[in-house]
Structure 1
């Protein structure tokens, strides 16, 4: 059976062109997907080269990047993102992808698609780069500003599921982001979360980890509260861009000898750039809702959109959300 993806064609800095061109690539690569493009047909049609397994659901209403998220979801009922989310809720699509307003997509995921019973606070998860190319999954990256120890424990379970089913890691190593590696480190939130994780035999908990070790591959899943996780994500993004920018300036702004040297190491530098670019891993997942809700980066180009669709396709193929539902519903019944 083909996987049906509802895609917000009007979200993102380069919409609809980048979105539609990414869809063209995905349809050419995968014959087991169907795409529903939500947005202004007059603006979508010029970029759409695929003729089969794709439909356009026309609407001129969209959610802007500066719209207040919850208000926009309630009031803009015909917006491309809202219609795509409703398609998932009504069983007309299996997943939603958008590069638009992050807060609005999170609100659509929670209030339209719906939270899995037993999960208190779905978290935003993304796969981030490591120096060995294996990457690590981190959550929460900003879906929630505040968390309890129980939330962090659930994030460890969610991240472990994602790493196992989507990234094929048999026994994912779970690390708790903290200000030191000793078990006694941290504030009450981290200390209580540490005890919950250490006493859960279903998890491969490796203890506290520090931010400086994340890209060294210290764990397969990193657990953090949403405020801290988002700050770390933005720091990693900014540092990567600054390093690459400084390298480019140094190599292109130097003398003849520097430019000759740059030509010699060009392939190595391209490999370095690729290792720091996590767009090939896809988008950020609102994990803990009843269907895949995927947020592509706002500045996504067509290649990033293609990789996000590829990621969504794999999530559907592995039925990771179904596995989550089964596990948490069983846990809920056991506590009744």
Structure 2
């Protein structure tokens, strides 16, 4: 399999991206890693030890974090992200990974790679950590600010397939993000989506309140991008505050420092569960090719984990599985 990586995307590119790509290439000799970007900046980072399954594809332009997504993708034809997307479309690569501009990656997926037939809108699907350590796949968390009930249905189907194929969760439980658990609760969108999800070929468990998400009431959480992104930022903000307060309290005196030493294994495990690098990347589901979005602040470990995710998705034929299920639904 061939995985293209946008070497110039992300807060610490290309250094950490190249480092992560090197680790991935060394671990998985059966996978060709294609670093797409400015070869003059990439080559010095390879330290003269480039594995035979790692290659460079030169791209002269970069889509910056503050670029307007549609304009950037249309005007910067030789940008590393656009070139990687074109490689997926033209079957030169089986998947692509980028830690760059999220909006630009969404636009690359839509304008360069294209949607799966029958999919109305793609969805960004990151993992939210849960108390049981298994996490919840939530979609959409930012690719679409507004969604229709039919689009939420498609998100649910795609999320179920992803959890089954990539995470090995059989018959994943699907929940609908809402302000209450009763079927009649919510706004017009969730009220209309509820019966569609009930009738869908998924394991729908009903409405889920945001305060319950970290307790893992479902394996897949469906929502529109506006509500989902607010929930995600709230979870990230709360986690950040909790870690800051704990650090302050545990460093006040000798006794609290001793307590911190005793609790360190558990606290480390807790902190790791909120670490985006453990999950690697979020898939952009609904695109007719495998696209993964890594966190903008990704380190080498996160990039390597994104490659691991891509390998699993490719081995389980994720994109074609989604396409088959959507086609089946449109025929009913």
Contact 1:129 1:278 in 2 (8 A): no
Contact 2:129 2:214 in 1 (8 A): yes
Separation in structure 2 between the aligned mates of residue 256 and residue 318 of structure 1, nearest angstrom: 52
The corresponding residue for 2:94 is 94
Q: 1:324 aligns with which of 318, 322, 325?
A: 322
Q: For residue 42 of structure 1, report the CA deviation from its aligned partner.
A: 2.0
Separation in structure 2 between the aligned mates of residue 135 and residue 206 of structure 1, nearest angstrom: 16
The corresponding residue for 1:207 is 206
Q: What is the TM-score with the length of structure 2 in the denominator? A: 0.97
1:220 and 2:219 matched: yes
Q: For residue 312 of structure 1, report the CA deviation from its aligned partner.
A: 0.9
Contact 1:119 1:288 in 2 (8 A): yes
Separation in structure 2 between the aligned mates of residue 262 and residue 329 of structure 1, nearest angstrom: 54
Alignment of 1:73-88 (within 5 A): 73-88=73-88
The corresponding residue for 1:190 is 190
Q: 1:283 aligns with which of 281, 284, 288?
A: 281
Which deviates the most, 268-277 or 97-106? 268-277
Separation in structure 1 between the aligned mates of residue 232 and residue 50 of structure 2, nearest angstrom: 35
The corresponding residue for 1:239 is 238
5+ residue gaps, structure 2: none
5+ residue gaps, structure 1: none
Contact 2:283 2:292 in 1 (8 A): yes
The count of residues paired between Structure 1 and Structure 2 equals 330
The corresponding residue for 1:51 is 51
CA deviation string 1:19-63 (max 9, x = no partner)? 011111111221221011111112112222432111111223100
Separation in structure 2 between the aligned mates of residue 184 and residue 206 of structure 1, nearest angstrom: 14
Runs (4 or more) in structure 1 with deviation over 6 Å come to none
SS at match of 2:125: strand
SS at match of 2:10: coil
1:306 and 2:304 matched: yes
Which deviates the most, 103-112 or 36-45? 36-45
Contact 1:128 1:278 in 2 (8 A): no
CA RMSD of aligned residues (A): 1.2
CA deviation string 1:233-269 (max 9, x = no partner)? 11111111221122112222x0111112222222221
The corresponding residue for 1:261 is 259
Separation in structure 2 between the aligned mates of residue 306 and residue 224 of structure 1, nearest angstrom: 29
Alignment of 1:16-95 (within 5 A): 16-48=14-46, 49-95=49-95
Q: What is the TM-score with the length of structure 1 in the denominator? A: 0.96
SS at match of 2:133: coil
